[in-house]
Homo-oligomer: A and B are copies of this chain.
Amino acid sequence: MFDLLYNKIRAFSKIDENQFDHLKTFFVLKKLRKRQYLLQEGDVCKYQAFVDKGLLRSYTVDEKGNEHILQFASEGWWMADLSSYLTNEPSFLNIDALEDVELLLITKPSWEQAMKEIPQLEHYFRIIIQNHLVATQKRLMQSLAESAEEKYNRFLATYPECVQRVPQHMIASYVGVSRETLSRIRKQVAARK
């Protein structure tokens, strides 16, 4: 259950088995069925989730009712509404399960306590968050500079694992185009081949 997390942490930070055993005690386990919410808009995000199995998404719904996906998280990724988690303010994101999932949850107080007691964790999270920032900045620049088709192709290249597991209309709402437009792009791409 904790193997994946252990490996991920050791990839960036030297942590020994005793420390990791201690770290385990800060987490609670949670299983969700497909379509269940981990977080709903308006609630405070009490947990950060490490995905051990399955697939989650975070998204907003705008006034017109359109969904905009911020993130997919499969095995080995973290998921939360970071803004709400940090500030304790109501979330503007929804998080739900695209498949049955098994999660390791940690509250903000536990998280901070864990970093205090195991200083290498601060380093691990700094690196994780830093990589996440780099990826988000790239996506932002691409969303400003590229056409719908380029953004779609880049999604395929960047997240090949997701492509198999996520329905097209969600890819559309991640890429930032309507599902109809994505469908037409796919048709064109197929025709060219």
Chain B residues, Cβ within 8 Å of A183: none
Copies of this protein in the assembly total 2
Distance in angstroms between the alpha carbons of A115 and B144 in the assembled complex: 34
Chain B residues, Cβ within 8 Å of A145: 60, 62, 66, 68
Known pairs A122-B123, A141-B60, A143-B140; A132 contacts B133 (CB<8 A): yes
Decide: A137 and B83 in contact? CB cutoff 8 A: yes
Task: Name A residues whose Cβ lies closer than 8 Å to a Cβ of B.
Answer: 60, 62, 66, 68, 70, 82-83, 86, 115, 119, 122-123, 125-126, 129-130, 132-134, 136-141, 143-146, 176
Chain B residues, Cβ within 8 Å of A140: 70, 136, 139-140, 143
Distance in angstroms between the alpha carbons of A137 and B123 in the assembled complex: 22
Chain B residues, Cβ within 8 Å of A83: 134, 137-138
Distance in angstroms between the alpha carbons of A134 and B144 in the assembled complex: 18
Chain B residues, Cβ within 8 Å of A62: 145-146
Most buried by B among A62, A86, A130: A130
Distance in angstroms between the alpha carbons of A139 and B143 in the assembled complex: 11
